Amino acid sequence: MVSTLSDLVHAQGCLNDNDVEWLHRLASDGQLLADLASADIVIWVATNDGSFVAVAHARPSGAATLFYRDIVGEGVRQQWRTQVRGAFDSGQIVDSSSPDWFEETPTRLRAVPIVRERGKDGNRPPVIGVLTRHSNLGETRTPSRQQITFDECADDLFRMISSSEFPDPTAPTSPRRGAPRASDGLIRIDVDGITTFASPNALSAFNRMGFDDELEGESLAEVTTRILPSTRQVDESLPVVVTGRAPWRTDIEARGVTVSLRAIPLKDHGTRVGAIILCRDVSELRHQEQELITKDATIREIHHRVKNNLQTVASLLRIQARRTHSDEARDALTQAMRRVDAIAVVHDTLAQGLTQTVDFDEVFHRVLKLVAEVAAAPNTRARTMSTGHFGVLPSEYATPLALALTEVVTNAVEHGLAGKEGMVTIDAVRTDEKLHVSVHDTGHGLPEGRIGQGLGTQIIRTLIQGELGGSIEWRGADGEGTDVLIDIPMRWLKH
């Protein structure tokens, strides 16, 4: 079992929850740091024996990794100990003085102290861990302007990490699907919002939105204003993002193209000196999301209309039952009305949610109310009680189960407790393997131990055994009443 960052940190017992949360935030941007630095990024925390253990690792997506095997959970190697210990003790960035060899590959190490809080009363701030950059010198070639800029951005972020200015606690912790990465497009702006560098992918994204000139030397805010349609409502966070004043995210859309932006303000001792703007063309992703939203809304509307239609059918059956003069026909229509109502309850629940699953405990609570009319029959005083936990079930199981349990409880009240006072108890026990439901009534018991052959019993068998692939058993309870035992395999969890 792979240990998580929290597990590894808590095992050392030297950091508090706020420190752990800070490390989590930093680790979530590990890929960004690795891509900007074109190097492996490792986060270390101090151990109880005076050493360090790796708690997070990110490999560069545009360069060869040094570590083909995951080193999370391993102790710091002797060849890195001096730099890591130096950064931890001094609170300063420490670089290796000469190339270091790792498995026959020349490398260079930079150790960056991770600081969450600034020092108080002039004292050195506490260091909660160390971040190391492992650069592969074996593939060294003349760096492009993009790589030089990426390196500068990485150095700025390393400096901010050592002075508690990165990660920013006000930044959103859960990015939307399709969050931009460095390789998707990077724009660097100065403190005035003027673009000093735009990667080819970033320029292409803005070109697709209708900007045909060079971005460098232009105010990113003004460029964005020019390409946005005047009729479109602007997200209030957009000006803050394109000027790099806050670590927020937003989308801009023009000419049918949607570009996601993420701003990372760059600071030097608390003073903003510029920003990195990551951008990514997410047109297809947003289109897919919109299609899913539309489909969800359509499905919910269908469930709502089905529920309304079923309630209309139930109302017609109720009217017909009141008008009929035959007791047998009235009972049959009333039972049909309850069955339709039970199915309507499931569709009503599905119409209120975003998924095709239902909280069956809520559904069954409403289903029990359907037998209240039966329980209020002359000379019958029946009470119902539900215990246990059904949990969340997919709709294809919820509908037949709701209908089957309506029949079982109705039979228990209508036949088991006919003309007397008693209790019907429904208990649900859910495990990983099956759902076990027992229905016990304190009624008359099975006549001569035989199970009825009526329509209700046939419906119950068809639903439990046929549709749900389960089993059902009727037993005479010890002393009095009847037990109905239902077992349904939880096979939907294994799909």
| 170-185 residue pLDDT tens | 887 655 567 899 999 9
SS3 72: coil
Phi, psi of 151 (to 5 degrees): -60, -40
C-alpha dist (Å) from residue 353 to 295, 300, 309: 13, 7, 19
The answer to whether the beta carbons of residues 402 and 440 sit under 8 Å apart is no
Give me the residue label for tokens 């001094």.
90
Q: Was domain 182-281 assigned CATH 3.30.450.20?
A: yes
The answer to whether the beta carbons of residues 330 and 389 sit under 8 Å apart is no
Q: Which residues contact 203 (CB under 8 A, 6 or more apart)?
A: 185, 214, 215
Give the DSSP letter of residue 104: T
- Burial (CB < 10 A; 0-12, 13-18, 19+), residue 372, is exposed
Give the DSSP letter of residue 126: P
* Dist CA 60 CA 70 (whole Å): 13
* Dist CA 212 CA 154 (whole Å): 29
| Residue type for position 34 | A
pLDDT digits (tens, 9 = 90+) for 104-155: 788 899 999 999 987 676 677 899 999 999 998 877 677 889 999 999 999 9
Average confidence (pLDDT) over 422-436: 88
Tokens standing for 347?
A: 């569709």
Average confidence (pLDDT) over 441-458: 72
| Residue type for position 477 | A
pLDDT digits (tens, 9 = 90+) for 340-379: 877 777 777 777 766 678 888 888 888 777 776 665 566 6
pLDDT digits (tens, 9 = 90+) for 315-327: 888 788 888 888 8
Percentage, residues of the chain above pLDDT 70: 90
The answer to whether the beta carbons of residues 185 and 280 sit under 8 Å apart is yes
Q: What is the pLDDT of residue 41?
A: 96
Q: What is the pLDDT of residue 495?
A: 43
Q: What is the pLDDT of residue 57?
A: 95
Architecture in CATH of 357-495: 2-Layer Sandwich (3.30)
* Dist CA 336 CA 339 (whole Å): 5
The answer to whether the beta carbons of residues 461 and 467 sit under 8 Å apart is no
Q: What is the pLDDT of residue 451?
A: 66
CA terminus-to-terminus distance, the chain? 23
Picking from 255, 272, 187, 247, the residue whose alpha carbon sits closest to that of residue 221 is 187
In this predicted structure, the answer to whether residue 330 has a pLDDT above a threshold of 90 is no
Tokens standing for 245?
A: 């004043």
CB atoms within 10 A of CB 143: 12
* Dist CA 328 CA 321 (whole Å): 10
Q: In CATH, what class is 5-161?
A: alpha beta
Picking from 459, 478, 481, the residue whose alpha carbon sits closest to that of residue 468 is 459
pLDDT digits (tens, 9 = 90+) for 395-428: 788 888 888 888 888 888 777 776 677 888 889 9
Task: Give me the DSSP letters along 177-231.
Answer: TT---GGG-EEEEETTSBEEEE-HHHHHHHHHTT--S--TTSBHHHHHHHHS-TT
* Dist CA 77 CA 54 (whole Å): 10
C-alpha dist (Å) from residue 37 to 92, 101, 197, 210: 19, 19, 17, 31
Q: Which residues contact 122 (CB under 8 A, 6 or more apart)?
A: none
Per residue in 201-210, is it b (16+ CB within 10 Å) or e — as a string? bbbebbebbe
In this predicted structure, the answer to whether residue 385 has a pLDDT above a threshold of 60 is yes
Q: HSE of 338 in the Cβ direction (CA atoms, 13 Å)?
A: 25
